[in-house]
Amino acid sequence: MSKIINGKEIAENILKELKEEVKAAETQISKSPQLSIILVGDNSESKIYVKNKIARAKDVGIEASFYELPEDCSEGDLEFLIDSLNTDEDVNGIIVQLPLPKHLNEDKILNKITPEKDVDGFTDTNQDALFKGSSDFIFPATPLAVIELINRFDNDINGKKSCVIGKSKIVGKPLAKMLENLGADVTTIDRDTKNPEDISSSADLLIVAAGSKHLVKENWVKEDALIIDIGITKDNDGKIYGDVDFDNVVDKARAITPVPGGVGPMTIAMLLTNTVKAFEKQNKLI
């Protein structure tokens, strides 16, 4: 088995399975899942991400509709659009692509999405449910992508000494909780942690979501650790870099995800999985 974990290939397998699931649901209720994606402004990277999400949604039989609002749109305009999608019975999932322009309150906007349609899993209702141990909620897509990636690679989380670098509300924090729920012994690190490499280098499972190009070097890593890199930094050379210095670390790791081609394609696959689950739930198929 290669030590480079091919997220693209694993995501393709998930999407194939999802396409079959959509077909099976459609034969029961003659409806397709519908996903609405809202993009505010002209962020060129966001446009590429959204285009990708729409293309992959269509591949699996999800109808995707795209709403583009101008950079200077008001909070009221955006909230009005979200409300109309919330009340549209044909819409199963809603995504507001981040980042939003600075004048818009991201937290307030995300919490406008009805939790049953929040397929990113960003609303407080879905986030709180995870921490309260409820099972009836939507998991945030990126942490879910990491768990699914590990499960499909070697299904070895229970009892693992794990370290999550990064404590963001939408990735690091929920991921640490999800790993804990699966029996891992989890330590989290952020920019205030003293000597972070002393902690990370004792972990058998190291997951990095710091948003800092090549932060993790060989001395941060335990021999034979499994390393998952969630970082995506676009540098001045136009290339995408992870949070892990791949070339410096690869020989020491038992296995490692590349950037690009690791967690990124998996996040889209899990976002679409969440959309199909939302569709099935709303139509009482599950």
* Those residues with Cβ within 8 angstroms of residue 43's Cβ, 6 or more apart along the chain or in another chain: 99
> Can you tell me which of 267, 273, 274, 275 binds ligand GUN, judged by CB under 6 A?
267
- State the pairing for strand pair 93-96/161-165: unpaired
Q: How far is the CB of 232 from ligand GUN (least distance, A)?
A: 8
Within 133-152, the residues that bind ligand GUN by CB under 6 A are: 141-142
Q: How far is the CB of 154 from ligand GUN (least distance, A)?
A: 25
Interatomic CA distance for residues 12 and 256, integer angstroms:
18
Q: 153 with 172: CB under 8 angstroms?
A: no
Active site residues: 53, 97, 120
* Angle separating helix axes 124-132 and 172-181, nearest 10 degrees: 30
> Can you tell me which of 21, 116, 120, 280 binds ligand GUN, judged by CB under 6 A?
120
**What stretch of H or E contains 247?**
helix 246-249
Within 65-104, the residues that bind ligand GUN by CB under 6 A are: 95-98
Instruction: Give me the 208-247 binding string for ligand GUN, x by CB under 6 A, dash otherwise.
Output: ----------------------------------------
Q: 146 with 207: CB under 8 angstroms?
A: yes
43 vs 187 by CB, closer to ligand GUN: 43
Residues binding ligand GUN (CB under 6 A): 95-98, 120, 141-142, 267
